[in-house]
Each structure stands twice: as C-alpha cells, then as structure tokens.
Amino acid sequence: MLIGNNVSVIIPVFKEAETIGPLIEHPRELYPSFEIIVVDDGSLNETAEAARKAGALVSNIPTT
C-alpha cells in the first residue's frame, strides 16, 4: 500500500527516442501523482526531448 504522493520513478535511458514516450505515459496514466525522472546517458538523438514532451523531468549526463 502506498501512502502519500512522494514517489519518484527513475528511468535511465540511452538512445530511446522512439520508445520513451509510451514508457512514460503508461505509469503516468496509472499513477498521475508520481514524479517521473529520466536520466539520459548522453544520447545524441531526440531522447531527452521526447521524454520532456511525455511529461518527465529530464537529467542529461554530458558526453565527453
């Protein structure tokens, strides 16, 4: 049983622009109060933008 709304879901990703949207949308529909955080590990495609568009907070890890 969950108590309160203090739940964060952290999703690590790399080059997942095509799949991240539905991955975020599903838990968002089931648990709208959950915070969803995507950690983008240096993707050079549109992964971060797709995650933001789906409603996630995004943290980018810079490439070296």
Report field, pTM of the whole predicted structure over 0.75: yes
Asked if residue 37 lies in contact with residue 9, where contact means CB atoms within 8 angstroms, the answer is yes
pLDDT, one tens digit per residue, over 2-48 is 555 689 999 999 999 999 999 999 888 999 999 999 999 989 999 99
- Residue 64, pLDDT score: 66
What is the pLDDT averaged over residues 41-59? 94
In this prediction, residue 61 has a pLDDT band, given cuts at 50, 70 and 90, of: confident
Q: Which residue, among 32, 50, 31, 30, has the nearest Cα to 40 in the 3D structure?
A: 50
- Residue 47, pLDDT score: 94
Beta strands in the chain (DSSP E): 8-13, 35-40, 57-60
Tell me the domain boundaries of the chain.
8-60
Distances 60 to 28, 40, 42, 43 between C-alpha atoms, Å: 21, 5, 7, 9
